[in-house]
């Protein structure tokens, strides 16, 4: 028993998914579903942990690595890992894993839904009916913007981008994309067109952000960028809030530099009810639910468990972020 590894899970996850870990290790778990683990408890648990199963809400940084002398793997319940200092983890030979692929279609569904909701003013429309404000008809009553035959610009063409492009092509949209590396196979396979960032910004009717949050993408959308967008265009962000300078986005929405925004992500989450973005009629806001279907969240949890068990058994995990660690083994 004494030699059993210790795994700490930073949120209350269903026993049915996590129980596999019990066969192999001692498992500790923060016992709240909705509240993140306090930092002092996390650090205390990390001291004895061989593995951590973390959420985006946990900062996994040098301070944590300093105290976790047994730590071998951090499995993050997300495809993004901007909460983790991967460089520092790699230096210490700690494997970092994420949950790509299993959430691709679910996140693409949400991204495209948000685009539809924003363009066609669906939230306003639902509110009008619910609030008893549907009193008459007029030619431009709740008239939104078309989706079909419009141009969608995808910033960040990974697997989620490709999945959104497929949905958009089904709606007869033209799809432009911008990515660090051009993807000729994707262009041929899907019929999407590569564009420089400026061309994409200037020509798109819907600009969808799907890039990870990195030093390069932080603050990518500024006043200058919003000014270059069409005044009739919509900004849709399902990636990370800080990719746009939030105050510049608010400015663009208020000044009519863009027509509206569909946002699943924010600088600080959760946002408060009195947040300036929520005072604007041309904003559709969602509470960061890109991957939130029961099937997908369960698959993400399972993948985290697979990854942890693989590393603790000295095997290559399914989805490591710092792949370099395995080339040397």
Residue numbers at the binding site for ligand 8YV (CB under 6 A)? 55-56, 77-80, 103, 288, 290-291
Q: Residue 230 corresponds to which tokens in the numbers above?
A: 């069409």
Q: How far is the CB of 153 from ligand 8YV (least distance, A)?
A: 21
Can you spell out the DSSP letters for 166-208? HHHHHTT-EEEEE-SS--HHHHHHH--EE--HHHHHHH-SEEE
Complex with ligand 8YV: residue 77 or 312, whichever CB lies closer: 77
Q: How far is the CB of 299 from ligand 8YV (least distance, A)?
A: 11
Complex with ligand 8YV: residue 75 or 283, whichever CB lies closer: 75
Q: How far is the CB of 105 from ligand 8YV (least distance, A)?
A: 12
How far from chain centre, in Å, is Cα 96? 17
The verdict on whether 133 is a catalytic residue reads no
Can you spell out the DSSP letters for 83-136? TB-HHHHHHTT-EEE---STTHHHHHHHHHHHHHHHHTTHHHHHHHHHTT----
Is the distance from CB of 49 to CB of 70 less than 8 angstroms?
A: yes
Q: How far is the CB of 152 from ligand 8YV (least distance, A)?
A: 21
Complex with ligand 8YV: residue 151 or 296, whichever CB lies closer: 296
Could you say which of 11, 167, 178, 288 is catalytic? 288
Buried b (16+ CB within 10 A) or exposed e, 13-43: beeebbeebeeebebebbeeeeebbeeeebe
Q: How far is the CB of 44 from ligand 8YV (least distance, A)?
A: 22
Number of C-beta neighbours around residue 99 at 10 A: 25
Number of C-beta neighbours around residue 284 at 10 A: 23
The verdict on whether 269 is a catalytic residue reads yes
Could you say which of 240, 246, 257, 297 is catalytic? 240
Complex with ligand 8YV: residue 80 or 276, whichever CB lies closer: 80
Could you say which of 63, 269, 295, 315 is catalytic? 269
Q: How far is the CB of 139 from ligand 8YV (least distance, A)?
A: 40
Number of C-beta neighbours around residue 274 at 10 A: 7
The verdict on whether 288 is a catalytic residue reads yes
Complex with ligand 8YV: residue 38 or 191, whichever CB lies closer: 38
- Closest residue to ligand 8YV, judged by C-beta, is 80
Is the distance from CB of 155 to CB of 209 less than 8 angstroms?
A: yes
Query: Smallest Cα–Cα separation from 87: which of 67, 68, 60, 113?
Result: 60
Complex with ligand 8YV: residue 173 or 244, whichever CB lies closer: 244
Please list, in sequence order, all residues whose beta carbon lies within 8 angstroms of the beta carbon of residue 41, skipping any fewer than 6 positions away.
30
Q: Residue 212 corresponds to which tokens in the numbers above?
A: 């990870």
Catalytic residues: 240, 269, 288
């Amino acid at each position: 028993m004494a030699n059993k590894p210790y795994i700490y899970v930073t949120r209350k996850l269903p026993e049915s998914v996590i129980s596999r870990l019990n066969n192999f290790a001692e498992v500790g778990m923060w016992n709240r579903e909705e509240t993140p683990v306090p930092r002092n408890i996390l650090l205390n648990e990390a001291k004895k942990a061989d593995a951590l199963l973390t959420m985006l809400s946990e900062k996994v940084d040098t301070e944590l690595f300093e105290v976790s002398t047994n730590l071998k793997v951090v499995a993050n319940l997300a495809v993004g890992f901007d909460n983790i200092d991967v460089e520092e983890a790699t230096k210490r030979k700690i494997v970092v894993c994420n949950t790509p692929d299993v959430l691709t279609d679910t996140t693409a569904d949400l991204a495209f839904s948000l685009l539809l909701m924003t363009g066609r003013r669906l939230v306003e429309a639902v509110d009008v009916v619910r609030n008893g404000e549907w009193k008459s008809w007029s030619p431009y009553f709740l008239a939104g913007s078309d989706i079909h035959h419009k141009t969608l610009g995808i910033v960040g063409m990974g697997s989620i981008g490709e999945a959104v492009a497929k949905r958009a092509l089904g709606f007869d949209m033209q799809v432009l994309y911008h990515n660090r590396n051009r993807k000729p196979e994707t262009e041929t396979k899907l019929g999407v067109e590569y564009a420089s960032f400026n061309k994409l910004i200037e020509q798109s009717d819907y600009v969808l952000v799907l890039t990870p949050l990195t030093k390069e993408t932080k603050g990518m959308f500024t006043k200058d960028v919003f000014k270059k967008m069409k005044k009739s265009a919509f900004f849709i962000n399902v990636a990370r809030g800080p990719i746009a300078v939030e105050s510049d986005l608010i400015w663009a929405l208020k000044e009519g530099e863009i027509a509206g925004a569909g946002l699943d992500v924010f600088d600080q989450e959760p946002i408060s009810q009195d947040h300036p973005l929520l005072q604007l009629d041309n904003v559709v806001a969602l509470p960061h639910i890109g991957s939130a279907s029961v099937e997908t969240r369960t698959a993400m949890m399972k993948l985290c468990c697979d990854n942890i068990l693989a590393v603790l058994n000295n095997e290559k995990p399914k989805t490591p972020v710092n792949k370099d660690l395995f080339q040397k083994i």
